[in-house]
Structures are given as C-alpha cells and as structure tokens.
Amino acid sequence: MAALKWIAGALAWLLLLAAAGDAQAQGYPNKAVRMIVPFAAGGPTDVIARIVGQRLSESLGQQFVVENVGGAGGNTGTAMAAKAPADGYTILVVSTGFVINPSLYAKVPYDVIKDFAPVTLVAASPNALTVNPSVPAKTVKELIEVIRANPGKYSYAQPATGSTPHLAGELFKLTYKLDMVMVPFTGAALAVNSTIGGHTPVAFTALPPTISNVKDGKLRGLAVLAAKRSAALPDVPTMAEAGIPDQESDTLTGIVVPAETPKEIIALLQREVAKAVASPDIKDKLLTLGFDPIANSPAEFATRIKVEMAKWAKVVQDAKLKIE
C-alpha cells in the first residue's frame, strides 16, 4: 500500500511538472530573449542571428536581442550560455566551432551533448577552394600535381584556426599527402585578400567571402566543398565532380539552448525559425550570403552535431592539431 501511495505521489509530481512546463511554454516569451553569438559582430554567424532574431521579434512579440560574446574561438560565449537558466530566455547561435572545439582545445568549459539541447540547424554554407589566377592549375587535380611538383613552395590561407575551412585544408593535405604550408588569419576577409594578392596562392574559406571575387576574376574557384553546386557560383564544380571525393565540409549556423529547456519552448522556437527562413525575403538574404536555408528538426540537428563532432575529431587527431 505504501508503495502504491509513493507511485501515485510520484505520478502526481510528474504531471505537475508537465503542467508547469506547458504553462511556461504557453506564456513564452513574455520578456526579451537574449541571443548569444560567441563571436564578434559582423561575421556570418552574427549576421544570420540578426536576420533571424529580427523576424522572431516580429512573430513572437518580444525582442530577441543579439549579444556578442567573443573570445577563445567561441568558447567564452558558449560557456556563458551553458550556465544560463534553462527557461528559453537565453539561446545560443552556434557555428561549426561548436562541434570542433571540444577536440581541438585541450579543455573546453562546456559539454556539447550534456549542456545543450539542439533547436535547429538554421543554414549551411559550403566551404570553397580558390586560387590566385596566377596559379597554373585550372582544376583541383591539376592543383594537386602542381603542389606535388613544388613541395613546400605553396601555401594556403585559412580564416581561423579550428574552423572548417582550416580543417578542410588539412584533410586535403592529409588525403593527398601534400607538402603545403598552412597560413592562419583572423578572418575570412584577410585570408581572401592575401590570396588575391598572391601572398598565399591557395585559400580554403567559407563560400560567402569568395563569391564576388570569383565572379570578378580576382580568384579562380576550383571547387565548392559540398554535395551539390552552389546557386551563388553555379559554374564552380563540387569536389566530387572535380574527381576528389569525400572532401565535403560546411560552415554551419544553428541554434541551441541550455539543456532542460522545456520541449514545448524548443518546438516553438524551431517552428518560428523554420517559418522565418522559409519566407522569401529571408531565404533570398541567406542565399545571397552563400547559405542554404535548412531549419531542420531538433532530432535531425542532434544527429548532425554528433556526425560533425566525430568527423572533425579524426581530422584534428590525424593532423596533430591542438590549442592549449
């Protein structure tokens, strides 16, 4: 009898918690929501956060305020979000560093899986392989031949240590055993300008900063690192089309919230983000930036996070990369 009373009490408590969660979700949001971007203003993560945040403010009737908390490759802002209350009033806008940093850094102050609940992968942009027009290679295979014929003489620019463009360059080197020097920069614009100037004849970067330069002939686009061609550069082949398989890499922008955030709030945020990126004006803005709108489900984003973590952890290990 005592056991039955205990079970009945436990069930009542669970029902009370569920009802409280429903009530919280039904009244959400009733105040401003903080959108932490763990990078400085002006980058693609920040731009997309502001585009989506503005639409969420309009659709949900409360301000979604972007707060830039840069530092440590995104770790500082991410750690701040991990410690925030799980009430839906702090959300974190992440880039691919979210899934790479745990294997790249000796220690990170958060656990990607335990501390966060995925909401949605907002959009993704393929990385790109470009060269200065003076490089005597019109295809990726020709570039491999040129680098092999000149060991140690070619370098490639990358926009941020530990970014997917950086790791894409290392994967390319590892796969084809290329003696090519990596030159790190603190931003895509600097990496692109270095390649335009011929200081680093090869570049692995996200697609957006290369689009206008390829169109203007300042860079030669050899490949986009995606499963399909980009609408922004339809004449540039994919790596697979160029005869170089298994080199796909994206720059991702997604939304996560602190773990234990009510599922009803997560579902609401996912629905509203999906509606936002499906709207013609925002979809056009994302495509112009070189990003494909996605807005998948929390479960699909969770799976993508685990796949990306495993993939890039192997590259980090094989390339012997580590940040203390």
* Residue 269 and residue 193 share a domain: no
How many domains in the chain? 2
> Percentage of residues in the chain with pLDDT exceeding 70?
92
Q: State the residue for tokens 């990385």.
A: 127
Within a domain: residue 168? yes
Q: Are 77 and 39 in contact (CB under 8 A)?
A: yes
Please report, for residues 207, 253, 273, the alpha-carbon distance to residue 283 in angstroms, rounded to integers and kept in the order given.
17, 14, 12
| pLDDT of 163 higher than 80 | yes
User: What is the domain range of residue 180?
Assistant: 126-225
- Indicate the residue among 191, 225, 259 that finishes a domain: 225
Classify residue 89: in a domain, yes or no.
yes
Residue with tokens 């401003």: 32
pLDDT at residue 28 above 80? yes
Region 20-45: mean pLDDT is: 82
Answer yes or no: do 120 and 268 share one domain: yes
Do residues 112 and 88 share a domain? yes
Residues 38-91: pLDDT tens digits?
Answer: 988 888 899 999 999 999 999 999 999 999 999 998 999 999 999 999 999 999
25 confidence band (pLDDT: 50, 70, 90): low
165, 205 in Cβ contact below 8 A? yes
* 141 shares a domain with 86: no
Q: For residue 10, what pLDDT is reported?
A: 46
188 shares a domain with 111: no
